Amino acid sequence: RIVYLNGELVSENAAHLSVFDRGFLFGDGIYEVTAVLEGKLIDSALHMARLERSAREIDVPLPVSVGEIVEIERRLVRDNNVVEGVVYLQLTRGAEDRNFLFSSEIKPTLLLFTQVKTLEHVAAVDKGVSVKSVADLRWARRDIKSVCLLPQVMAKRIAKAEGCDEAWMIEDGFVTEGASSTAYIVTDDGRIVTRGNSSATLPGCTRLAALELAREQGLTVEERPFSLDEALNAREACLTSASNFVVPVTRIDGKPIGDGKPGPMVKRLRELYLENARRTAI
């Protein structure tokens, strides 16, 4: 596989990073994951906008323009023959002798690589995924897509140990989001409920696209927190993320949601999302 590191396209075995990289030593960095379908980038503009925002919030300059990043992503997808999968991007503050504070000379590290993965035709679409609720142990700036992912790694391990596919993180009785996805429920009268964007969650790109499409179709979207209890009694539930698109959640903490099968609203949302994703892919 060819990867991109600091201005160069090199074989993954030839790419070397400093042991003093602050991404490694401090978790001083951010990332993005963009889906690839039929060799094209999905929701690229949304991911680039969030990348710019995250970089600005932690005050790391982008070493190349967003336009150049998109070209690098397209080149990696082509050269690595990625038909379906993801492009991962990581931007860190750079490498310097270890010190909490950094100098004005420090140069950011930019790394991109691709991963081949089946995204569209996965068992989860027909079967639904099971979710385990866990405490949200993260920091107070979850709107920044930071590489400090230890709480999410721990949450996913707990979920997996219980035979679940994803963790939904709980704060004050309310669901914040999935460990690597946005969380939704559908109420008995057919409203789609998900938390509004704030520093309590990551503003999902898939969420942004899906909610706009839902509203265009006249579906009712309610942006508000929902409790674990409300989720357990919801008619349908789902999650969204770049690498899952829209996937039904059919079990939470072992309890079936609705009739325990993927419901019509989530199915429709997935179809709407995928149709638009294909149409706008680059």
Q: With binding defined as CB under 6 A, does residue 206 bind ligand PLP?
A: yes
Closer to ligand PLP by CB, 2 or 246: give it.
Answer: 246
From the list 16-24, 87-95, 205-213, 249-257, the region that binds ligand PLP by CB under 6 A is 205-213
CB 100 → ligand PLP: shortest distance, Å? Answer: 25
Name 41's Cβ contacts closer than 8 Å, sequence gap at least 6.
34, 35, 70, 73, 74, 77, 87, 281, 282
Closer to ligand PLP by CB, 180 or 250: give it.
Answer: 180
Closer to ligand PLP by CB, 22 or 156: give it.
Answer: 156
Q: With binding defined as CB under 6 A, does residue 182 bind ligand PLP?
A: yes
* Residues carrying an active site annotation: 145
Q: With binding defined as CB under 6 A, does residue 205 bind ligand PLP?
A: yes
- Both structure tokens of 257: 């949601």
- Residue 154 · residue 167 · CB < 8 Å: no
CA distance linking residue 31 with residue 60, whole number of Å: 12
CA distance linking residue 10 with residue 50, whole number of Å: 26
Name 197's Cβ contacts closer than 8 Å, sequence gap at least 6.
143, 203, 223
Closer to ligand PLP by CB, 29 or 94: give it.
Answer: 29
CB 21 → ligand PLP: shortest distance, Å? Answer: 21
CB 99 → ligand PLP: shortest distance, Å? Answer: 29
CA distance linking residue 208 with residue 47, whole number of Å: 11
Q: With binding defined as CB under 6 A, does residue 109 bind ligand PLP?
A: no
Closer to ligand PLP by CB, 242 or 249: give it.
Answer: 242
Q: With binding defined as CB under 6 A, does residue 94 bind ligand PLP?
A: no
* CA torsion through residues 223, 89, 98, 58, sign: negative
Nearest in space to 147 (alpha carbons), one of 270, 271, 28:
28
CA distance linking residue 101 with residue 121, whole number of Å: 46
Among 132, 156, 195, 207, binds ligand PLP (CB under 6 A): 207
Q: With binding defined as CB under 6 A, does residue 34 bind ligand PLP?
A: no
Nearest in space to 226 (alpha carbons), one of 192, 253, 258:
192
Among 180, 211, 225, 277, binds ligand PLP (CB under 6 A): 180
Closer to ligand PLP by CB, 110 or 242: give it.
Answer: 242
Q: Which residue has the tokens 């991007």?
A: 89
Q: With binding defined as CB under 6 A, does residue 177 bind ligand PLP?
A: yes
- Residue 267 · residue 210 · CB < 8 Å: no
Nearest in space to 167 (alpha carbons), one of 195, 131, 204:
131
CB 188 → ligand PLP: shortest distance, Å? Answer: 26
* Binding residues for ligand PLP, total number by CB under 6 A: 13
From the list 54-62, 124-132, 198-206, 218-226, the region that binds ligand PLP by CB under 6 A is 198-206
Site of interaction with ligand PLP (CB under 6 A): 33, 177, 180-182, 202, 204-207, 240-242
